[in-house]
Structures are given as C-alpha cells and as structure tokens.
Structure 1
C-alpha cells in the first residue's frame, strides 16, 4: 500500500486526539447498546457502568504502575532490523498487561458475583477469566525472559506453543465437564454457527479445533501488537463488538467483554503515541485468549473471525512473508521478501505511513468489521 492513498494532511491526528476519538466512539457505542436494549437503568445488566469503571481504574492505575515498571527496568528491547523509527522507543517500559488485564478480569468476576444475570453465566465468566490470566501468564514468562536475557528472544517457540495448547486443552476439558454436569452451555456448542442459519457440525473434533482457535487468536493478537496504541484500541473495539453479539444469550459474558474492553481503553491512555508503556506479550496473548474464550463458549467463532479480520490479515502477512522467502531461496540460501517487513503494519511503516495513520485506519476498519459481524449474526 502507498502512503499517498492516505496523505498526512488528511490525517493530522496526534496520539492524544486518536485516544479521545476512540474514547468518544466507544462510550457512545455502549450508551447506544444499553439504550436500545432498555438496560441503561439496570445496574446489573448495563454495559456502560462496568466499561467506564474499568477504563477509569486502569487509567488511574497506570499513573502508579508505569513508574514502578520504569524503576524495575522493564525497558523494551527493540529489534535492530525493525523500522528505524522504533529505535528511539528503546527503554520504554513493557509488560503493561500486568496492570490492565487483571483489572478487567477482577472487576468482571466481582460484577457477575454481585449482579448475576444467571447462574450459568458466572461459570462462563470464571472460565473466560482463568483462560485470559493463563495466557497472560505465558506472555509474562516470555516478557520476563526477554528482559532477563536483554534480547528479543523470550521463551522458546516450542515452549510457548506447548503452554498455549496445554492451557487451551484444560479450558476445553473444563467446558466438557461443565456441559456434562450442568447442561449450561449451548446445545449446539460443537457446531460452527455460520450466517443465515447455516452450521458445520464437528462433534468431538470441535474440542481440538477450539484449542486451535485459542492458540491462533492469541498469536494473532500478539503479532498485531507492534505500534503505539494499536492492539489496545483494536482490543477495546473487538471485545465490545463481541460483547454486543453475545448479549442476548450470554449477558454475563457480555459484561466480561465490557470490562475487558474498558480496561483496554484505559491502557491506551498510557500506550497512545508516543507510548509511555507497552502491553508486551503479557497483554497481547491475554487479549487473544479472552476473545477466543468468549467466542468458543457462545458458539460465535465465525463472528470472531469477522471481528478479528485485522488480526487474521496480520497473521497471513507473516505466513506469506516466511513462505515466499523460503520458496525463493537461491543457491546462496537467501530468498526474496514479499513485504518490506512483516507483519503488515511494519510494511506500511516502511512504505511511508506514520504510526498514527496506521492506527487510525486500522481502528476504522475494525469498527466496520464489528458492524459487519453484527449485521450477519
């Protein structure tokens, strides 16, 4: 893509302006959703209050946590072969997921404990919360190893994948037990629901497929996290969109999505360009886990694919880059590059796009994908 398609004169947005536009848009969205559903005055069912509380708590917590991360010397190690503009970010604290992920998880658990929509919903939120924290823990291990070794290599890819598969399998096992003993999951959970009433029955194959969805989604959100304010904003939009989709059948999981969305928004207050803190794998892996856990429990995997279209494209860009490089290797062992750099957002940067242009366009695309998912659901 050419940066001239979106000239800088048409997108003179600072990181702060982008943050306030995101805040205004999401706040308006939760209000509209609550008003149209007639739940604005229902404390236990309203999206608006938990969303705003989580956003506010994370924003305030960041003013204390970011300096602590600085004192702990959790400065990001920047790849020397990456965009040169990123070298000035060296030393910016990372591992920001340690303060915004727990806020969303804890407040959502407390909310459904005091204002349960139905008993089965509490179990579903607990399952999603534990999977989110488990994937956040994997990310923390990776971030800590990077900081400890002062390099870009964290835990080995095999170890990370094994942990993701293992926690995903435990999550699926928990759902199987829940389904057998409580009969609270959707009766068609082992099918892939498609638009227009279509469905693909998978039977027992669904469970390893669910594990694959969790691993793929968490790695996709991890790859997307590479530009100031990008994954935080996309996470806020995607989680709120998924919450709107599951609201009619799973109001408690809707609440979980609202809390996590608000937490993402609060994090962007500190992660907007120029970022004071990065979420690290601690945050990005957790967000993928949260999205996957909600989609699997509510039979909305297809909707998640639409909502997470940007995550999917970012992942494809990496796969295409690696595949093309290997396929074009010459006798010298060097291949050609399909993109200037993968994932896609780095290719756009090296093509002349500013970080703020990328973030603004990706936000808009993500919002449109959410509307599409709502339309075909």
Structure 2
C-alpha cells in the first residue's frame, strides 16, 4: 500500500462520482427539488428547486472504489464490510428521510425519534461488534500520549457517542454550496494518509474512495450548486467517516481534523440552549454558524473557502500529531 494506491483510488471514485452526479441531476431535478428555509439567508431562496439526494452518487462511487481496491490489493475483509455497513446504513436513513421530504413532499420527513432511533441501532451494532470481535477490542488509542487505554464497559457508549456526534455534525455542516463535500474531502484525505502511516488498508481504501467521491460531487456542488447531497449524503459521510476512524483507532483525531464539524454542531447546541434559557435571546444571528457569517455580510463562497482553509490547517496539525 502506497501513496500511488491512494491516488488511484481517489481517481477511480472521482470519475465514477462525476459521471453518476451528471446523470442524476436531470432525474432528481424532476422529482427531488430542495425546499429552502424561509428564515434563512435571503440569498438562499434562489436555490429552491435545486435537486437534492445527490449523495447517492457519492455513496455508489465510494463503495465501488473501496471494493475494487480491496479486490486488487487485499486488506481486512471484516473491517471493510463493517465500515461499508455503517456507511450504507446511515445513507439509507438519510435517503428515506429525503424521500419523504423532497419526493413525497412530507416536510417533516422521518420523525426525530425515528431518525435518531435508527442511528442508535446502527451505532450500537458497530460498537458491540468492535468490542467483541475486532483485533483491538475495547482499547482506544490516545494519539498525543501514544498509548492505548482500555475503556472496558465504557467502550460501547463511547463509540455510540462518537458515531452519533460525527454523523449529525456533518449533517449540520451541509448548509452551503460545497461546504460539507469540500471539508469531508479534506478530512478523508487526512485519514487516508493516517491509515497509510499506520498500515491499515481497509480504512485507507475507504477514506480515499470517499475523498474521490466528494471531489467528483464537488464539481457540481460548488457555488452555484447544481445539486445538493441531502441527508442521503451527509448522514452517510458522517457515519462512514466515524466508522473508518474508529476501525483505524484514530477516533480521537476526529475532533481535531474535523474541528469545523464540531464548531458547527456546538453553535447549534449553544444557540438552542441559550434561546431556551433566556426565553428568546440568541448568541448567533443564525445557526449553524456558517449562516451566522452570512447574516454578518460575508458572501457564501467566501465562508466556504475560509472553512476549507481552516480544515487544511486542522489536518496539518493532525499530521503533526501522527
């Protein structure tokens, strides 16, 4: 396994993603137009009707490239299947939610308890499997200290928290043209390099494939976006990224290299909590925080580029740690 392998996987996923996204745009435009929040930035109202559910292309391209890499270069089959199970499982939840909202025109989509409940089921299944059948069992790697710590009975709730937090954080980040796809391409590229450094083939293949899939999708998702990934893409990306990081024992690097995800999620938590405590007051002009910057007068494309640059810095810090 080498950087050449990573490059080949990225290129394969990129090509598949570009082709599939181009093909799905006219199909989804006719059936899956995006609804836009009326209380959001006024500039977003023009995006109404933009096809959503484009994450289907990312999912197919990532799965295809991962399987091709596994067949050609080998690797742990069980690790690969576990990661893809979580990736596809969360993608299915997002797809069903999008299907209800944008095709069936049910604005509520899945109920919160249904959506969260399904996420918990998949997260617990992953945690239980890894605790009982993975090579590292309940050990968690502490990067800076360079030691493994056995979490014992706390391993399962810890893993469930990591998966749920990352999945919903990526979902919240998906609010501007090219934001989630660009940030995730950078983060998965980091984990590809990290997986290569630690010699973990399956996780490396998957992260490189997701990177390529996101870059291919970004061709059409950059401002002005011709298509959105929807919950189909964002939930799959969050779940798959978390699963890959956990399998590679790099889960504690997620909040470092994926700090944008953390900030986006925290901005929502703080906004909602402060709003309830103060009976109507707000910390930010709008949450998630990318909308706050828009409300402050920054152009959407400038916010996205700034978040990309910030993520590059976080990934460089992550490389320094590993």
User: What TM-score do you get using the length of structure 2 for normalisation?
Assistant: 0.95
Q: Is the 8 A contact 1:51 1:262 kept in 2?
A: yes
Match of 2:145, SS? helix
C-alpha contact (below 8 Å) 1:113/1:122 kept by paired residues: no
Equivalent residue for 1:249, pick from 174, 199, 215: 199
Counterpart Cα distance in 2 of 1:283 and 1:236: 13
CA displacement, residues 224-255 of structure 1 (integer Å, 9 cap, x when unaligned): 00000110111110111011112123022111
Shift in Å at residue 199 of structure 1? 4.8
Q: Is the CA contact 1:238–1:370 (under 8 Å) kept in the aligned structure 2?
A: yes
Partner of 2:313: 368
1:80-103 C-alpha deviation (Å, 9 max, x unpaired): 111111111000000001122121
State the partner residue of 2:217. 267
Q: Contact 1:190–1:204 at 8 Å: present in 2 too?
A: no
Shift of 1:148: 4.3
The answer to whether the Cα contact below 8 Å between 1:339 and 1:347 also exists between their aligned partners in 2 is yes
Q: Secondary structure at the residue paired with 2:28? A: helix
Determine whether 1:294 maps to 2:294: no
Q: Which has the larger radius of gyration?
A: 1
How many pairs are equivalent?
Answer: 321
- 1:3 maps to what in 2? none
Please name the residue that 2:37 is paired with: 79
> Is the 8 Å Cα contact of residues 242 and 304 (structure 1) preserved in structure 2?
no
Distance 1:211 1:249 in 2: 25
Report the CA distance between 1:363 and its aligned residue: 0.6
Q: Where does residue 340 of structure 1 map in the other structure?
A: 285
After superposition, give the CA deviation of every residue in 1:145-177 in whole Å (9 maximum; x if it has no partner). Answer: 212453542211111110000011122233244
Question: In structure 2, what is the Cα distance between the partners aligned to 1:294 and 1:148?
Answer: 31
- Mind listing any 5+ residue stretches in structure 1 that lack a counterpart? 1-33, 41-45, 180-184, 330-334
How big is the alpha-carbon RMSD for the aligned residues of Structure 1 and Structure 2? 1.6
Which range is displaced more, 99-108 or 255-264?
99-108
The correspondence for 1:280, drawn from 230, 234, 245, is 230
* Pairwise CA distance, 1:78: 0.7
2:165 is matched with 216
Q: Which moved more, 1:200-209 or 1:61-70?
A: 200-209
- Report the Cα distance in structure 1 between the residues aligned to 2:15 and 2:109, rounded to whole angstroms: 32
Look up the match of 1:234. Answer: 183
Q: Is the 8 A contact 1:109 1:126 kept in 2?
A: no
State the distance in 2 between where 1:108 and 1:198 align.
Answer: 30
SS of 1:47's equivalent?
helix
- Output aligned runs, 1:1-377, within 5 Å: 40=4, 46-71=5-30, 73-116=31-74, 118=75, 121-148=76-103, 150=105, 152-179=107-134, 185-186=135-136, 189-247=138-196, 248-329=198-279, 335-377=280-322
Q: CA deviation at 1:192?
A: 4.4
Asked if the contact 2:274/2:281 (under 8 Å) is kept, the reply is yes
Q: CA deviation at 1:280?
A: 0.2
Q: Quick one: distance in 1 between partners of 2:107 and 2:272?
A: 18
1:19 corresponds to = none
- Please tell me whether the aligned partners of residues 243 and 253 of structure 1 are also in contact (alpha carbons under 8 angstroms): yes
